[in-house]
Amino acid sequence: MEKKRLLKGAEAIGEGAIRSGCDRFYGYPVPNQSDLLEYLVSEEMKGSPLRVFQSEDPLSALFMAYGATLAGARVLTAVNTIDVPDVLRAVSYFSAAELPLVCTVFSQSGPGSGNIYPEQSHTLSLLYGSLSGDVFAPLLTPSTPTDCAAATHEAFRMAETYQIPVIILVDAACAQLVETVDFSGINFRGIPKNRRIFLGGNRGKRQVSTTLYLDTERMSERKEVLREKKDTFQKSEKGTSKLVGEGEENLIVAYGISALQAKRALDDLAADQVSGLLFEPVSLYPFPEVPFKEALERAKHLFLIDMSDGQLETVLKPLTHSFIPVHSFRTVGGRVPRVPEIRQWMIQVLESSQQKG
């Protein structure tokens, strides 16, 4: 395989899936997701072992994936954020049956049909909605095509290791962003399938998979097994993040395309003698609490850049100190934060703080 490829973010997810041993994709062609579907079809036609199936709707794709996973396939599926309720339903079923799945959610503006432009207003529904029934689903948030490829491999690793569904949340801007992805920097080590595989044609012993437990004692026992799995996951997985910059007093937190714009703004702020440290969580669950708290201890200002009406602030609230001022820059409606806006906003905040001080 080529070490370097010029790819969109959506295409990098597809290539990352192929290199992670994925052999089935189920999806429905909708905006942003279509680039992933088209890329995988083109790779299948070139001889890739991955097989692509187009469903009649997103919910059908998710439960086609359920059946394929039971039969031993390593499965990738993808939906848009308008289909988040279907994703949460699938998370519940895959978790209950202890089946691995990697689901890419392409985030666009909402509510309703909204538009096809990027937004981060579905973060809380995925982060907390996936806890329904006391289960869990890791939530990864790449910001570049290279991150998309790495996150896809990491998602398959966690899915197969813990037999759980994993969500990759990609905003529409990142899905369309193009860069040269260097796959030699990503450790695509083998991911074993240590799980039950249901055989057809009466081969082997009779096997049953169910998520229905009418007896309360059996249901309690089942939930205890899932709780122990969650405890093991939380002890072993600590989340990933990236730190960019040197100015520890001004801590900036952003993810997805917002993080990329924040990094560009930091570069421009150097001309104004303003420095800052960008903390980018590449996973929101598990959240990288240790490096965040370390960075927060040295900070005097916390700047949040978010393409929603404050959802990032809600995520961070349990981890932030009341004595550190929190400043939020928000855009909605599918509008990506502009670098000059971020730069001017940070300057104004710091100048106002100095005048008050």
Instruction: Give the per-residue pLDDT at 356.
Output: 76
Last residue of a domain, one of 188, 207, 236: 236
* Shared-domain flag, residues 115 and 232: yes
Instruction: Give the per-residue pLDDT at 357.
Output: 61
Instruction: Give the per-residue pLDDT at 199.
Output: 72
* Shared-domain flag, residues 191 and 47: yes
* Shared-domain flag, residues 38 and 160: yes
Q: Which stretches of the chain score pLDDT less than 70?
A: 200-205, 357
Last residue of a domain, one of 201, 236, 271: 236
* Shared-domain flag, residues 172 and 215: yes
* Shared-domain flag, residues 147 and 96: yes
* Shared-domain flag, residues 40 and 181: yes
Edge-to-edge strand ranges of the sheet holding 139-140: 51-54, 24-27, 75-80, 101-107, 165-171, 139-140, 283-285
Instruction: Give the per-residue pLDDT at 19.
Output: 95
Instruction: Give the per-residue pLDDT at 353.
Output: 86
Helix extents (H) in 131-275: 145-162, 172-176, 216-236, 257-269
Last residue of a domain, one of 208, 236, 264: 236
CATH number at residue 259: 3.40.50.920
* Shared-domain flag, residues 297 and 206: no
CB burial string 62-73: b at 16+ within 10 A, e below? bbbbbebbbeeb
**Count of domains for the chain:** 2
* Shared-domain flag, residues 290 and 168: no
* Shared-domain flag, residues 215 and 258: no
Instruction: Give the per-residue pLDDT at 263.
Output: 96
* Shared-domain flag, residues 205 and 149: yes
Instruction: Give the per-residue pLDDT at 26.
Output: 97
CATH number at residue 150: 3.40.50.970
As beta bridge partners, residue 7 has 179
* Shared-domain flag, residues 58 and 190: yes
State which residues form the domain around 82: 4-236
* Shared-domain flag, residues 189 and 277: no
